[in-house]
A and B are shown apart, each in its own frame.
Chain A
Amino acid sequence: MIRRSFIGKATAAIAAAAVPSLYLSWAGRASARPRRHRVEINGFRFTPDRLGVSVGDTITWINRDIAPHTATATDGGWNTGELVKDAEASITVISGMQTTYFCAFHPMMKARFSIAATTDQ
Chain B
Amino acid sequence: MKKNLLLAVSLFALALQPTPSAAQSPAELNDLQIAHVAYVADNIDIRYAHLALAISTNPAIHEFARTMIRDHTAVNEQALALLKKLNAQPQDNFLSKQLTANSEKLVDEMSKLRGAEFDKRYAENELAYHKAVNDLVSNAFIPNIENAEVKSLFEAGLKIFKAHEHHAEMMVKAVSK
**Which residues of chain A have a CB within 8 Å of any CB of chain B?**
43-44, 65-68, 84-85, 105-109
Cα distance, A84 to B66, chains bound together (Å):
15
CB <8 Å contact, B74 and A44: no
Query: What residues of chain B lie closer than 8 Å to A106, measured between beta carbons?
Result: 67, 163, 167
Q: Contacts A66-B157, A108-B170; is A44 near B75 (CB within 8 Å)?
A: no
Chain B: interface size category: 10 to 19
Interface residues of B in 22-76 (CB under 8 A from A): 66-67, 70-71, 74-75
The yes or no answer to B159 lying at the interface (CB within 8 A) is: yes
B59 to chain A, nearest CB (A): 13
Cα distance, A63 to B164, chains bound together (Å):
18
The yes or no answer to B106 lying at the interface (CB within 8 A) is: no
Cα distance, A68 to B66, chains bound together (Å):
11
CB-based A-B contact count at 8 angstroms: 40
A26 to chain B, nearest CB (A): 47
Query: What residues of chain B lie closer than 8 Å to A107, measured between beta carbons?
Result: 167, 170
CB <8 Å contact, A44 and B170: no
By secondary structure, the A interface counts as loop
CB <8 Å contact, B75 and A108: no
Further contacts, 11 of them, CB under 8 A, given A66-B157, A66-B160:
A43-B159, A44-B160, A44-B163, A65-B160, A66-B156, A67-B71, A84-B74, A106-B67, A106-B167, A107-B170, A108-B167
Query: What residues of chain B lie closer than 8 Å to A108, measured between beta carbons?
Result: 163, 166-167, 170
**Which residues of chain B have a CB within 8 Å of any CB of chain A?**
66-67, 70-71, 74-75, 78, 156-157, 159-160, 163, 166-167, 170
Cα distance, A67 to B167, chains bound together (Å):
14
Query: What residues of chain A lie closer than 8 Å to B160, measured between beta carbons?
Result: 44, 65-67
Q: Contacts A105-B67, A106-B67, A108-B170; is A66 near B163 (CB within 8 Å)?
A: no
CB <8 Å contact, B70 and A105: yes
B68 to chain A, nearest CB (A): 10
